[in-house]
Structure 1
Amino acid sequence: MKFICKQCNIELTKHLIKLQNLNLLNENDGEDYIPSGFYIIGDGSYDSNSKGKIIINLNDLINSKHHSDISRLNGCCGLDGVDGINTVCVNNHEIGTENSDCWMAHYILLEPDMVGWIED
């Protein structure tokens, strides 16, 4: 499946499949939380903000950019995601929150009310 922006229908991800083996999740700081090519629905266990959100590898995100509101782009070595949605599609529709700072595992949370999916 591929995730799309609900407002403009642009594809936001490469082809992804649901990760069945949750032992592959990696909570090490500065490393990918979820392997490329997969997604999961967050349960809030690693990041309390992830509950019910779609978690993907940053390398699987396409047709996106950082938010134009620089107050949402805080972090020391990357984006910490604590100031709200910081990622938009290329047409400037809010889609999710990148978490890529040095003190956390790296991933993006896609908002289920802002993205849809297509089977490919």
Structure 2
Amino acid sequence: MKLICQKCKIVISKEITELKNLSALNNNDQADYIPEGFFIIENGEHDINTKGQIIMNLKDLINSKYHTDTNRLNGCCGYDGLDGINRVCINNHEIGTENSDCWMPHFISIDPKLVDYDWNFQQRIKY
């Protein structure tokens, strides 16, 4: 599937597939939390405080930029995501939160209420 900004319909992700093998998740600091090309719907069991969010690799995010509210762009070596949504589509619509600081695994959590889906297969997200 590809994720699409709900407001302007621009594609914001590369093609991603649901990750079935959750042992591939990497909770180490500064590491990609999820492999490139995959997503999960966070169920709250992985200790990353994003229950119900679509989690994907930062390298799979396209057509986006950082939020114009600089108060949301905190972190020391990256972005910690502790001050709310910090990524927007290229048309400035909020889409999700980048977590890329040095003391955490790196990923983007996409708010499912802010995106639509372009499905290339029969699977449907349930949240």
TM > 0.5 fold call: yes
Tell me what 2:125 maps to. Answer: none
Other-structure match for 1:25? 25
Residue 98 of structure 1 is matched in structure 2 by: 98
1:2 maps to which residue?
2
In the TM superposition, residue 47 of structure 1 has moved relative to its aligned partner by: 1.2
2:124 maps to what in 1?
none
Amino acid at match of 2:17: I
Q: Which blocks of at least 5 consecutive residues in structure 1 are unaligned?
A: none
Distance 2:75 2:44 in 1: 21
C-alpha distance in 1, partners of 2:88/2:19? 24
Mapped to 1, the partners of 2:107 and 2:116 lie a distance apart of 18
Deviations for 1:40-99, whole angstroms, at most 9, x for unmatched residues? 001123212x10000000000000000000000000000000000000000000000000
Query: Is 2:48 the partner of 1:47?
Result: yes
SS at match of 1:113: helix
Q: RMSD of the alignment, in Å?
A: 0.6
- Identity value in percent: 59
| Alpha-carbon distance between aligned partners in 2 of 1:22 and 1:52, rounded to the nearest angstrom | 16
Report whether the alignment pairs 1:113 with 2:113: yes
TM-score computed with the length of structure 2 as normaliser: 0.92
Aligned equivalents of 2:67, 2:107: Cα separation in 1: 16
Q: What 5-or-longer segments of structure 2 have no aligned partner?
A: 121-127
How does the TM-score come out when normalised to structure 1? Answer: 0.97
Partner of 2:79: 79
Query: Moved runs in structure 1, 4+ residues, more than 3 A?
Result: none
Letter in 2 for 1:106: H
**Alignment-mate amino acid for residue 119 of structure 2:** E
Q: Give the aligned residue type for 2:16.
A: L
